[in-house]
Structure 1
């Protein structure tokens, strides 16, 4: 049983299950990769209590049953991605395939979904514990208790709206990434969010960042500090995500435009190709240097969408327009050729043709 790696059941209606706070807490810590023997250190519960809670989670259907046979080695479950070898090629060679887009793998997407579902159930219990038991206490008493609290009370304090209490939670020696993610998602005071991001380990965590950008109280200055140095593709994804408040998306577009001016040519090309040129509508008024143009001209273009967006890009350099006019996809589609010929940077002989 200690070698079993419990996994949340993605098809279970977790929000409707009658879970206790302890059961919800343990469920929130199951990531599908941690064996039972490590859950004691992760949760602070003794082994026998872990076994009893897992038995209850199995009864509720919140956790998938243990396999009857030994699972295959972990490496076999994750075959090498076929796209990775292409990253070793020079960015200027080959077709307009994405260069190094940071896509979420199916495994990561499933893990995120399971984490969100299990945490959602536990969060309801922690919020209830906070509202019924902790919130009626004076703020200074809550702050004092938060410094030494243990779970599930420590997780409940992550729902406190007072920044001073959140600061005390962050000073607690037991605080971890799971608590940081709760604060990023449920604390709605910019001061508390600033305190959270004062811890580099928390500010760099993908889960914390994922919830921070969805928090309507994220200060634009804090977003700029956290995202201004990140890759253009990450900034573009934030600017595009409709689950993110419009104010943060607007700031993301501004940050992306600023970084586009100084980013390496390879990163600019990555952004344009991976978005099939859709990003160009957000880059109006910005030009590219000779190296970026050279890298774009070193590729074969087959996507009509990408060619069309490049043809509508007013800053497209003349050498790129000339290169696109030579593509087989353009020769086969007169409407694409016409778009390119009408571009203000199109070669004079191309316009006559």
Structure 2
């Protein structure tokens, strides 16, 4: 297969196209970055069949044509009956599950990268859930386990909604399982045992999409969260503590980890956290002192943000050298209220308090 990267046609309303179940499924797996030759592993379709499907999607206008796209093996589309578990001819692919973070803060390597977005539209998720509820859920557990070991999509994706950990383990043992299935499990499975099985697969545990859904899963065990996030950057811990989509139990654990990591983490990360949040993160770090290197890095900067200076002034553990440095800043000299706040700090120089 070619290096062509299939991309959705933004000028076409996919809901108006006469797509069959296979075409809708392939569209649900396209993220605009995955090359054609990598799609068989993601969709479970053989290369020749996938090439036919992509060619039909291009001919219908669903995909943008590419000069590298291979010619179809068979351009004649056989008549197909609609999938028995869907109530509409084609899934709506204009829904997005991407949600903005609560603070516009930069962080290298964080889990809010574009690759972390869920690439399965809500309409397709509804089809999978309906298939499970109407056809698969009624089967005995041992039959669902056996089915999960050898199932193909859409049944394999539908079984990701199964609440029984044994079924989820069988899904994960299926040779066709991929990141799309792992993200479904992370998002919708509500048993800690099944989530443990998911994280046991290192490739899935490292995926940003899987991690994003895991931290929003109310059944994520605190011990498992600690194992996944113990060595993440301080900025990533902070973002979880203020993300309202994260359950309170996980946010509480994130706050604990933030304090632990702040006491032992690299000085550069501490400075990044304080500066990028304009000191807002210091509210969760009451009583947490900083080392000499962190102080030196903070004192080597020019400060132009009143909010940052105010938050440092409210930080009881602010080092004396940093308070003295802030008192010399042009911003503080021009704003008496900032100077007064710093002068009242317990670690302020004696001459500042007298002034």
> Shorter chain as normaliser: what TM range?
0.7 to 0.9
Q: What residue in structure 2 maps to residue 24 of structure 1?
A: 24
Q: What residue in structure 1 maps to residue 283 of structure 2?
A: 281
Q: What residue in structure 1 maps to residue 202 of structure 2?
A: 200
Q: What residue in structure 2 maps to residue 148 of structure 1?
A: 150
Aligned length: 320
**1:102-251 matched pairs, under 5 angstroms:** 102=108, 108-109=113-114, 115-116=118-119, 118-251=120-253
Are residues 1:44 and 2:30 paired?
no
| Maintained 8 Å contact 1:271/1:279 | yes
Greater shift, 28-37 or 165-174, is seen at 28-37
Separation (CA, whole Å) in 2 of partners of 1:4 and 1:22? 20
Aligned with 1:314: secondary structure? coil
Q: What residue in structure 1 maps to residue 76 of structure 2?
A: none
| Maintained 8 Å contact 1:15/1:121 | no
Are residues 1:300 and 2:299 paired?
no
Separation (CA, whole Å) in 2 of partners of 1:121 and 1:53? 20
TM-score scaled by length of structure 1: 0.81
Offset from partner CA, 1:263-300 (integer Å, 9 cap, x none): 12222111111111100001112111222212211111
Offset from partner CA, 1:91-143 (integer Å, 9 cap, x none): xxxxxxx9x7227799x53x655x44x44332222222212221111001100
Distance 1:228 1:42, change over 3 A: closer
Offset from partner CA, 1:47-93 (integer Å, 9 cap, x none): 564355446656887x45336899xxxxxxxxxxxxxxxxxxxxxxx
Q: What residue in structure 1 maps to residue 34 of structure 2?
A: 34
How big is the shift at 1:212?
A: 0.2
Q: CA RMSD in A?
A: 2.9
| Maintained 8 Å contact 1:134/1:142 | yes
Structure 1 gaps of 5+ residues are 71-97
Q: What residue in structure 1 maps to residue 7 of structure 2?
A: 7
Q: What residue in structure 1 maps to residue 90 of structure 2?
A: none
How big is the shift at 1:259?
A: 1.3
Distance 1:103 1:166, change over 3 A: closer
Distance 1:309 1:12, change over 3 A: farther
Offset from partner CA, 1:284-317 (integer Å, 9 cap, x none): 1211122221221111111111111111111101
How big is the shift at 1:350?
A: 0.9
How big is the shift at 1:12?
A: 7.6
Separation (CA, whole Å) in 1 of partners of 2:263 and 2:253? 16
How big is the shift at 1:10?
A: 6.6
| Maintained 8 Å contact 2:323/2:342 | yes
Q: What residue in structure 1 maps to residue 78 of structure 2?
A: none
Are residues 1:101 and 2:107 paired?
yes
Separation (CA, whole Å) in 2 of partners of 1:240 and 1:50? 43
Distance 1:52 1:132, change over 3 A: farther
Distance 1:102 1:346, change over 3 A: same
Separation (CA, whole Å) in 2 of partners of 1:35 and 1:112? 18
* Structure of higher RCO (CA pairs closer than 8 Å, 6+ residues apart): 1
Separation (CA, whole Å) in 2 of partners of 1:11 and 1:218? 40
Aligned with 2:334 (options 326, 332, 339): 332
Structure 2 gaps of 5+ residues are 70-104
Separation (CA, whole Å) in 2 of partners of 1:190 and 1:283? 30
Distance 1:188 1:28, change over 3 A: same
Separation (CA, whole Å) in 2 of partners of 1:124 and 1:261? 45
| Maintained 8 Å contact 1:4/1:66 | no
Greater shift, 210-219 or 171-180, is seen at 171-180
